[in-house]
Amino acid sequence: MSAPAGMAVNGAVAASAMPASARRSRYVVITPARNEARFIEHTLQSMVQQTVRPVRWVVVDDGSTDRTAEIVAGYAARFDFIRLVRMVRDPQRDFAKKVGAFNRGLDELRDIDFDFIGNIDADMSFGPDYFDRVLASFDHEQRLGIAGGIVYTRFTDSFKTYDYTLDSVGGKVQLFRRQCFDDIGGYRALPWGGIDATAEIMARMRGWLVRKSLDAPAYEHRPTGFAYGNPLQIKFFEGRRFHSLGYDPLFFALRCLSRAAEYPFVLGSGVALARYAWAALRREAHALPDDVVRFLRTEQRRKLRQRLRFWAQP
């Protein structure tokens, strides 16, 4: 799939054979949306053009003050697999409230039989065969619990990606095998965010695999978190968030170094690392249980050792 008209894409997308168009896996999707009138038409168009549509797609309008609900209602009137739910909430954004909106969407699925459940954010677009390709990856590995495409983010007039970690799937496009979703207890409401990372950690801890589908690109029309403040403020909260999840200090420092080329260049990584260090010095509490933090740090240190062995090879 190519990027939307007028948009360039950096980074190669792996080629693969087209999955069978006759696939009939039963999946459902939930999209929490708040003041997404600028972007949600991209998502709506992408969903209605899918070669394999969901059994139900629930869009939860979380107290929008713009035309988000009106736009979705227009599509819901024409496509019976789309269901609009309206919520009322206070005007302040935070990451935990997204879980509340997602769980409200779950209420609309009680009468539906499905095998897979996904979250798609309201500023995404993707090709007509996107879900066909992602669903195909579950056929090849029965222990695959979470899959999703590679996310390209819009920067001015182009789409770029730093999303190269194969055993991680961005929360904007996570699709769960239902048993995995039930095993981890769904998404956890966390005040500093990281609900997608937590879902992955919990899944791997319970023996599930997490894999990115490189042949299923998805395009984010607003950089992650930009609804929550300016870029430096976002990086500041990022440092607090990753400390709250229990990330290993060395692993997080190297992560910041590897992402220094992301906007806001260098300074953003410095701000994130400084906030993480401040949280560590103050012994601020982790949001996840101790056993989950231990699992995560063991996993991250193993990855660091593997990387060091690779670099040490002649």
pLDDT in tens, 67-89: 999 999 999 999 999 999 999 87
Residue-level pLDDT at 162: 79
Predicted confidence (pLDDT) at residue 23 exceeds the cutoff of 80: no
pLDDT band at 90 (very low <50, low <70, confident <90, very high): low
Please report, rounded to a whole number, the percentage of residues in the chain having pLDDT higher than 90.
74
Query: Stretch 112-137: mean pLDDT, rounded?
Result: 97
pLDDT above 80: residue 156 = no
Q: What is the pLDDT of residue 312?
A: 76
Q: Using DSSP, state whether 194 is helix, strand or coil.
A: coil
Predicted local distance difference test score (pLDDT) of residue 8: 44
Residue pair 272/256 in contact by the 8 Å Cβ criterion: yes
Flag whether pLDDT at 147 surpasses 70. Answer: yes
pLDDT one-digit tens code per residue, 275-309: 999 999 999 999 999 999 999 999 999 999 998 88
Which has more confidence, 264 or 100? 100
Residue 311 pLDDT level (bands cut at 50, 70, 90): confident
Tokens 């990372």 locate to 197
Confidence of residue 229 (pLDDT cuts 50, 70, 90): low
Predicted confidence band at 233 (pLDDT cuts at 50, 70, 90)?
A: confident
Q: What is the mean pLDDT of residues 230-250?
A: 92
User: What pLDDT sits at residue 92?
Assistant: 62
**Both structure tokens of 134:** 């992602």
- Of the listed ranges 1-5, 16-20, 29-33, 180-184, the least confidently predicted one is 16-20
3-state secondary structure 253-292: HHHHHHCCCCCCCCHHHHHHHHHHHHHHHCCCCCCCCHHH
- In whole angstroms, give the CA distance from residue 180 to residue 199: 10
Work out the angle at residue 259's Cα, subtended by the Cα atoms of residues 258 and 262, and round it to the nearest 5 degrees. Answer: 150
pLDDT at 137 over 60: yes
**What pLDDT is recorded for position 191?**
85
Q: What value, to the nearest 5°, has the Cα angle with vertex 148 and ends 143 and 153?
A: 155
How does residue 54 score in pLDDT terms, banded at 50, 70 and 90? very high
How far apart, in whole angstroms, are the C-alpha atoms of residue 107 and residue 115?
16
Beta bridge partners, 150, equal 217
Q: Please compute the mean of the pLDDT values over residues 237-254 and round it to a whole number.
A: 96
Give me the architecture of the 8-14+21-223 domain, per CATH: Alpha-Beta Complex (3.90)
Where are the domains positioned within the chain? 8-14+21-223, 229-312
Residue 132 pLDDT > 70, yes or no? yes
Give the range among 1-5, 123-127, 172-176 with minimum mean pLDDT: 1-5
pLDDT of amino acid 95: 67
pTM attached to this predicted model:
0.87
Is the per-residue pLDDT at 9 higher than 50? Answer: no
Higher pLDDT, 44 or 311: 44
Range with lowest mean pLDDT among 63-67, 155-159, 171-175: 155-159
| pLDDT digit string, tens, across residues 28-40 | 999 999 999 999 9
127-141 average pLDDT score: 95
Among the listed residues 44, 35, 62, 211, the one whose alpha carbon sits nearest the alpha carbon of residue 126: 44
